[in-house]
Copies of this chain bind each other. A is one copy, B any other.
Amino acid sequence: MEYIFSDKLASMKPSAIREIFKSLADPTIISFAAGNPSPLSFPAEEFGALAADIFANHSTAALQYGTTEGYTPLIGEVDKRLESKFNIKGDGDQTIITTGGQQGIELACKALCNEGDTVVCENPSFIGALNAFRSCGCETVGVPLSDDGINTDELEKTLEANPKAKLLYLIPTFHNPAGITSTLENRKQVYEIALRHKVIIIEDNPYGELRFAGEDVPTIKSIDTEGIVLYCSSFSKILSAGMRVGFIRGPREVIQKMVIAKQVEDVHTNNFFQMLCYRFITEYDLDAHIEKIRELYRNKCSLMLDCLDKNLPACIKYTRPEGGLFIWCTLPDELDAKEFVQRALVKKVAVVPGATFNPDQNAPSQSFRLNYSTPSDEAIIRGVEALGEVAREMIK
């Protein structure tokens, strides 16, 4: 039998990150390629205690079908936290629980875009989101990311040039892969531009709780008076990635359409873990737990930056994140980025090539992404030394 695939999926390949992950089966390789949270961030002991109670005393609710919107008490806690930590409120909005933050992004695109529509993204952007938009048959168009956020002049031009642009996808805080946080001034400008062009913003904020330096910047959602921002996030980086519990909040009318789309994808998100999240939030100190994660990443990021300062030649630039999981390195034009990544792998250090994150799938990139949350301190020191060796070998 010769199989004929749908147009939107026929050209899609497994992501380059997955291919790199295969090389990670070699335990001698130091991986800066992952996007995983540190296992030290998982509250396994507390989850164990709560699980014992749920299976003993609330098993029917945990193991039976639930509602597509999610476990109501958890939604209540999410809404409380969005208001207290991110100044996100508003009666016209609704929050639903999604199977990881990823599902919220995909459902938004499915509800709002036809095949052939355009999703405008920062360049670089999160590969999982880019592929979600592509899987809906949408074109992804990138707008350069500067130190203070997406380039607003270029954003304006891009939206003018793309009348089929329906969504603007942004990771304003501790950007993946770029590690930068946009300024409030940038956020206000971006919001005004999107509103003028009647484009819905997806504000993806999975790392928002992971600030380890500097001051919080208000979310775009918190300045949204016209109902054009969908805000999505998850518990993946603060409780567990493997449980797949996230959420999305936005105008009720849009969220209701996403509920229909979610129902046909997976009916609802795992009930037991929705209850577990609710119980953890209400019975333990989530803020104290997050503070421990921040401390851990503060130290790891600081160590990696120190190593980069010490080992990399000045011609290689990199971001200095105030939170999140990633540092973004950019090579000077005279160094071949593909060769750099290849040579690093020969020296047993895996990084993710920047082209992976380019909304334009055929464009090259002079950058690569480094993750500091997963590797050990020793791996960070040795791995960055190896990257320095590669740079010096290529420059001479």
Contacts and interface: CB of A to CB of B under 8 A. Distances in A.
Interface of A: 1, 3-9, 12-15, 18, 35-37, 39, 42, 44-45, 47-48, 51-52, 55-56, 59-66, 99-100, 102-103, 106, 110-115, 128, 131-132, 134-135, 166, 198, 200, 226-228, 236, 240-244, 251, 253-254, 256-257, 259-261, 263-273
A98 to B, nearest CB: 8
A13 to B, nearest CB: 7
- Nearest 4 A/B pairs, CB to CB: A48-B55, A44-B59, A242-B271, A63-B240
A102 B265 contact: yes
Contact of A47 (B59, B110, B227): B59
Contact of A244 (B3, B254, B268): B268
A271 B301 CA distance: 28
Given A4-B112, A52-B48, A242 B131 contact: no
A55 B63 contact: no
Contacts of A7: 114
Nearest to A275: B242
Contacts of A63: 39, 42, 44, 47, 240-243
Contact of A55 (B5, B9, B44, B64): B44
B265 A265 contact: yes
B48 A260 contact: no
A235 B378 CA distance: 43
A241 B65 contact: yes
Nearest to A56: B48
A227 B1 contact: yes
Contacts of A59: 39, 42, 44, 47-48
A100 B1 contact: no
Nearest to A107: B265
A271 B243 contact: yes
A62 B42 CA distance: 10
Nearest to A269: B244
Nearest to A129: B264
A300 to B, nearest CB: 17
A392 to B, nearest CB: 34
Contacts of A3: 112, 200, 251, 253-254, 257
A91 to B, nearest CB: 15
B270 A242 contact: yes
16 contacts: A4-B166, A5-B112, A6-B113, A9-B257, A18-B263, A64-B241, A65-B242, A99-B265, A128-B263, A131-B263, A135-B260, A242-B272, A243-B270, A244-B270, A270-B273, A272-B273
B131 A264 contact: yes
B267 A128 contact: yes
Nearest to A245: B270
A36 B64 contact: yes
Contacts of A268: 242, 244
A27 B94 CA distance: 27
